[in-house]
Amino acid sequence: MRRFLCIALALALLLGGCGGAKPPDIQAAADGLLAGSAFEEQLLEQDCSKAMLIYRFSSYGVSKEDILDCRIGVAQSVIGDEMAFFVMSSEEAAKAVYTALQARVKTQSSAFEGYGPEQVPKFDAAIVRQSGATVYLIVASDYAAVDGSLK
């Protein structure tokens, strides 16, 4: 129950921003997810500089200067768990990142069909959301632990 409350609080911080308010605290949201049981294993955190390569942002017209803040975690083994939170310089850049994250889900799902078909349902339920200039992706083993209201 305590883990669920931490996750719910973190996601409320992420989504709670309104127009003109300071950007949501994606670091707190990511910390809440990592502290909970949403992921099958501890995710390997990646530096924001790797986002351009991992998510192929340049193919969507996104530059590294467009990323104001981010937090990325990927599975260390052959499971599909992943999280990515981004605060972008504009809503236009956020829309491009949203499109790139949707493409990432499709690409990963197709890749896992060949060598980890039991992971594919995670991608079918993946959460990709945009709110203003904030975008996030969650591919989890336990979506109930993420927050049922986000689905």
Tens digits of per-residue pLDDT, 48-106?
989 999 999 999 999 999 999 999 999 998 899 999 999 999 999 999 999 999 999 99
pLDDT at position 22, please?
A: 56
Local structure of residue 45 (DSSP, 8 states): E
Range of the domain at 42: 2-150
Overall domain count for the chain = 1
Q: Name 70's bridge partners.
A: 86
Which of the pair, 15 or 71, is modelled with greater confidence? 71
Task: Please write the tens of the pLDDT for every residue from 92-150.
Answer: 999 999 999 999 999 999 999 998 999 999 999 999 999 999 999 999 999 988 873 24
CA gap 151, 140 in Å, rounded? 12
CA gap 76, 33 in Å, rounded? 16
